Chain A
Amino acid sequence: MQLTFNGHAYDVLPGESVLDAMARHGVGIPASCRAGSCQACIVRSVIGDPGPEARRGLKPTWRAAGYFLACLARPSSDLTVALAGEQASTRARLVSAQPIGPGVLRVRLRPERPMEYQPGQHVAVTREGGIARVYSIVSLPDESARTGIELHVRVYPGGAMSGWLASAPAGSPLTLGAPAGECFYLPGSAAGPLLLAGTGTGIAPLVAIARAALAHRHPGPVALIHGASAPDGLYLGTGCPAVLADQAARTAQRQRPTDGHPLSWRTCLRSDGGDIADVVTAELAGLACDPGTVRAYLCGGARSVARMRRALFLAGLSLADIYADRFVPAGC
């Protein structure tokens, strides 16, 4: 068997794991338990299939992205692999940055070549001076191809990136990293309810995931919850965003009348005494289903995400069915 990595080809002995083969050839990759538990040796298959055993314990979205564990992979055919963290950069130009709501910009970027990604993933954006920030992609791939990649950017006072975006001229050059993240819709996966909850600009990737789910005619209820500490934070408004309602209507038109699956949209304000973890738990209860069938996507501030995750776990969701994307401000 042949293993290709970084442009070099290495032989793999029969029954040898990818990790052992690389070590034998003096190629070091992060590894620890060497038994499939710690996931330190996670790598990505670019060409070839490492086999299902190599993906043991990995979430379905990671598997779909080609990730596998080098210590468990004993390939029976040639493989080309890349490190999980390897980023291919794409140059892009700023198209526009306009306020979409209080303190949030709708930013459009045009990459020099089309980028493949799953709605809900995020991308590192680097501007001149080496300032880099990570943002979730809001637009669906066909929209990105037409009008550029859309991001929702919270403006921080003195923000090195957000402040620059607010006033940079159209055409300003940027670099984009490879889209990454485990929060995206998996077509063809189990038909249970989807629960998507986010705070602040965390709602942006969730709207993209919900739209992708509806476009794939997800056969189950789709429930979204947007939380904020104050009314300004509900920058998409208190009612269901048009882009989402339109997608739901298009989906409903293509379905048989008996297929109707509700889309629900709720908001939660801490200034009104609301707690998004409580709203999420109540929404789950309202679905009146086996919690083990629910998949949840959580995006936003780390503390809120952690509390929602814990609340959903206690209510009966498996941790493996909770996809979380924690937004951590860069300290500007």
Chain B
Amino acid sequence: MTQEVSLYERLGGSLAIRSVTEAFYRKVLADGLLAPYFDDMDMDRQVAKQASFLTMVLGGPAEYTGRELRAAHAKMTDLDDKHFDAVLGHLAATLREFGAGHADVSAVAAVAASVRDDVLNR
């Protein structure tokens, strides 16, 4: 059986995404491997982008495409799998904190993994 209601909706839709996004972004900023990439960025703009990314991977109204992710990360030429894996780890941890079960987290990880090559510009 396929999931009729996306995790996005089950978490609470656009109203809840704000809390999920902030929790996810906090983890990313606290990670020494990832934080330097966010130093120069305006926090509000970043949170807005993270919210769009999360909306996409959680099955909400798609606002973010692989091409946009590619363009957004194009200048970060030293990104590699360990950075991407770190972000995936924070994403999974955040979702579990908000009560997502194993199946949901796996499904989201699969969607996120599908944009690995875009983010790493491969």
- Complex: A320 Cα to B51 Cα, angstroms: 14
Q: Is the CB of B48 within 8 A of A318?
A: no
**Which B residues are CB-close (under 8 A) to A309?**
43
- B18-67, CB < 8 A from A: 18-19, 22, 26, 29-30, 43-44, 47-48
For the complex formed, measure the closest distance between the CB of B64 and the CB atoms of chain A, giving whole angstroms: 12
User: B30: which of A37, A306, A314, A319 is its contact (CB, 8 Å)?
Assistant: A314
In the complex, what residues of B have CB within 8 A of residue A314's CB?
26, 29-30
Question: In the complex, what residues of B have CB within 8 A of residue A319's CB?
Answer: 22, 43-44, 47
Which residue of A306, A318, A319 has the most chain B CB atoms within 10 A of its CB atom? A319
A319 to B76 CA separation, bound complex (whole angstroms): 26
Main secondary structure of the interface of B (DSSP, over half): helix
The A contact surface, by secondary structure, is helix
In the complex the two chains form, is A37's CB within 8 Å of B22's CB? no
Task: Give the distance in Å from the alpha carbon of A37 to the alpha carbon of B47 in the complex.
Answer: 12
**A318 near B22: Cβ-Cβ < 8 Å:** yes
Residues 19-47 of A contacting B (Cβ, < 8 Å): 37
- A313 vs B19: C-alpha distance when bound (angstroms): 12
Given A37-B48, A310-B43, does the pair A318, B26 have CB atoms closer than 8 Å? no
A318 close to B47 (CB less than 8 A):
no
Inter-chain CA distance A309–B26, complex, in Å, is: 13
Check B26 against A313 for contact (C-beta < 8 Å). yes
CA distance A306 to B44 in the complex (A): 11
Determine which of B18, B22, B48 lies in contact with A313 in the assembled complex, contact meaning CB atoms within 8 Å.
B22
Task: Enumerate chain B residues within 8 angstroms of A316, measured Cβ to Cβ.
Answer: 26
Q: Tell me if B29 and A320 are in contact (CB < 8 A).
A: no
Residues of A within 8 A of B48 (CB): 37
Give the Cβ gap from A291 to chain B, nearest Cβ, in Å.
Answer: 11
Q: How many whole Å from B30's CB to the nearest CB in chain A?
A: 6
A266-314 CB contacts (< 8 Å) to partner B:
306, 309-310, 313-314
Nearest-CB residue, chain B, relative to A309: B43
Measured CA separation A306–B41 after assembly (Å):
11
The docked-state distance in angstroms from the alpha carbon of A313 to that of B22 is: 8
Closest chain B CB from A279 CB (angstroms)? 20
Say how far B20's CB is from chain A's closest CB, in angstroms.
12
Set of chain A residues within 8 Å of B19, measured between Cβ atoms: 318
Q: Which residues of A contact B29 (CB under 8 A)?
A: 310, 313-314
Using CB atoms, name the residue of chain B closest to A310: B43
User: Which residues of B lie under 8 Å from residue A306 when comparing CB positions?
Assistant: 43
Minimum CB–CB distance for B116 against chain A, Å = 26
- 16 A–B contact pairs at CB < 8 A? A306-B43, A309-B43, A313-B22, A313-B26, A313-B29, A313-B43, A314-B29, A314-B30, A316-B26, A318-B18, A318-B19, A318-B22, A319-B22, A319-B44, A319-B47, A320-B18
Q: Chain A: residues with CB nearer than 8 A to chain B?
A: 37, 306, 309-310, 313-314, 316, 318-320
